[in-house]
């Protein structure tokens, strides 16, 4: 029987499990591209708003926050950090700074690469759906 901690951990990482499922569904000819596009979109949403990452917002001493956050776009439990990360996504200089910080940890790398893979998969599935 699966323990409560294992269920919670799998519940927090459902987007990565879905990415693996999408990777296994691509070579199957019986699966419609629309289903793959929808599942890939869920992977991207998971990476942007729920994947476990570090906050990486700028602190008062010009360091970066090491608190746990949810997703690439959301900050930690501090209200200012949540808004700061959303603002960083839309400013050109801050975007490169935030990208460098986000890719500093394994959680950020996993979320970023999964978001890119999900976006590519969703785009390819949509194009396949439109061409058919």
Q: What is the pTM of this model?
A: 0.82
pLDDT at position 7 is 64
Q: Which residue has the higher pLDDT, 15 or 6?
A: 15
Over range 95-117, report the average pLDDT: 76
Q: How confident is the model at residue 100 (pLDDT cuts 50, 70, 90)?
A: low
pLDDT at position 102 is 67
Domain with 39 in it: 4-131
Triad 100, 105, 107: Cα angle to 5°: 115
pLDDT at position 2 is 64
Interval 37-95: pLDDT, tens: 999 999 999 988 888 888 877 788 887 888 888 888 888 888 887 788 777 767 666 66
CA 23 to chain centre: 16
Q: Look at residue 20 and tell me whether its pLDDT is greater than 80.
A: yes
Q: How confident is the model at residue 101 (pLDDT cuts 50, 70, 90)?
A: low
Q: Which residue has the higher pLDDT, 98 or 18?
A: 18
pLDDT at position 93 is 63
- What is the rounded CA–CA span in Å between residue 88 and residue 30? 42
Q: Look at residue 132 and tell me whether its pLDDT is greater than 70.
A: yes
The helix (H) or strand (E) run that includes residue 53 is strand 52-54
Q: How many domains does the chain have?
A: 1
The helix (H) or strand (E) run that includes residue 32 is none
């Amino acid at each position: 029987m699966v323990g409560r901690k294992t269920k919670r951990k799998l519940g927090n990482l459902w987007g990565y499990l879905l990415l693996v499922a999408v990777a296994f569904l691509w070579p199957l000819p019986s699966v419609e591209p629309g289903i793959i596009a929808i599942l890939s979109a869920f992977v991207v949403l998971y990476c942007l708003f729920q994947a476990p990452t570090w906050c990486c917002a700028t602190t008062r001493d010009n360091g970066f926050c090491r608190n746990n956050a949810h997703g690439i776009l959301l900050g930690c439990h501090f209200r200012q950090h949540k808004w700061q990360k959303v603002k960083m996504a839309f400013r050109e200089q801050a975007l490169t700074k935030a990208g460098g910080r986000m890719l500093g940890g394994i959680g950020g790398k996993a979320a970023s690469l999964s978001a890119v893979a999900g976006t590519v998969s969703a785009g390819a599935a949509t194009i396949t759906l439109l061409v058919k």
